[in-house]
A and B are shown apart, each in its own frame.
Chain A
Amino acid sequence: AQSVTQLDSQVPVFEEAPVELRCNYSSSVSVYLFWYVQYPNQGLQLLLKYLSGSTLVKGINGFEAEFNKSQTSFHLRKPSVHISDTAEYFCAVSKGGGSQGNLIFGKGTKLSVKP
C-alpha cells in the first residue's frame, strides 16, 4: 500500500519569496506522483505530475517538482510566489505501471502568501 506525508500543514510566505512544499511517500511498488491545488471553494486542479522520464517536472503557474526516488520525495517549488498562489496544495500518489489506480492523498499544505 502507498502512503503520503506532507510535513507542513501551513506555510506562510511573503510575496515574491521562494517556497518549497514538502511531500514524502511510501510504496513498495513503482508510483506515479501528483500535486493538486485547491483554491478556496473550488475543486482539485492538477498542478503537475510525474509519470516517467525526467525527474524534474514543470507544471502550471510556474511551479515545479522533483522526483527523488532514493529519498522517496516529491517536493513542490516555486521561485517567486504571488498573492494568487494562496491555496491548499495536495500531494498524491498512485500505483504505477499503467494501473489507472486510485490516488492516495496527503493531508494538504495551506500556502498563505502575504503582501
Chain B
Amino acid sequence: EPEVTQTPSHQVTQMGQEVILRCVPISNHLYFYWYRQILGQKVEFLVSFYNNEISEKSEIFDDQFSVERPDGSNFTLKIRSTKLEDSAMYFCASGVKNIQYFGAGTRLSVL
C-alpha cells in the first residue's frame, strides 16, 4: 500500500541553524501539507501546497519557514533559523479526494 515517507525520523540541531525536513508524498496525490505537534499539544496546520505554490498557510508559518517541491517527488519544509520553540514532531501529509494521508513524522529537537 502506498504511503507517505518522511526523513529523517529524528533531527537534532542547534538553535539558529537551518534544517530541511523531507517528505515523499503518495505518487498520484496533488495536495501536500505540513503539520506540527509540540509535545503535549494539538496537531497544528502549517501550510498546504498545490500546483507548485502555497495554497494556504497558518499564522505559525512565518518568514522563517518555506516549502518546496524541488523535483516532482520530494516535498520539503525548511526552517531557516531554528528556535527552541520549533522543537516538535513535524508531519507531512498528501491528499486526494478530500482525504489526507500522513507520514510517520520527523521529530525535531532544537538545542
B77 to chain A minimum Cβ distance, whole angstroms, is 15
**Assembled-state Cα–Cα distance A46/B45 (Å):** 17
**Assembled-state Cα–Cα distance A103/B42 (Å):** 11
A interface SS class: loop
Interface size grouping (class) on chain B: 20 to 34
B interface SS class: strand
On whether the beta carbons of A101 and B48 are closer than 8 Å, the reply is yes
The residue among B91, B98, B102 with the most chain A CB atoms within 10 A of its own CB is B98
- A88-107 to B contact mask, C-beta < 8 Å, 1/0: 00101010101111111111
On whether the beta carbons of B43 and A100 are closer than 8 Å, the reply is no
- B36-48 to A contact mask, C-beta < 8 Å, 1/0: 0000011111001
Q: Which residues of B contact A (CB under 8 A)?
A: 4, 6, 31, 33, 35, 41-45, 48, 50, 55-56, 58, 91, 93, 95, 98-105
- Chosen A-B contacts, 10 in total, with CB atoms closer than 8 Å, are A34-B100, A43-B6, A43-B102, A46-B100, A90-B43, A96-B98, A100-B31, A100-B98, A102-B33, A103-B93
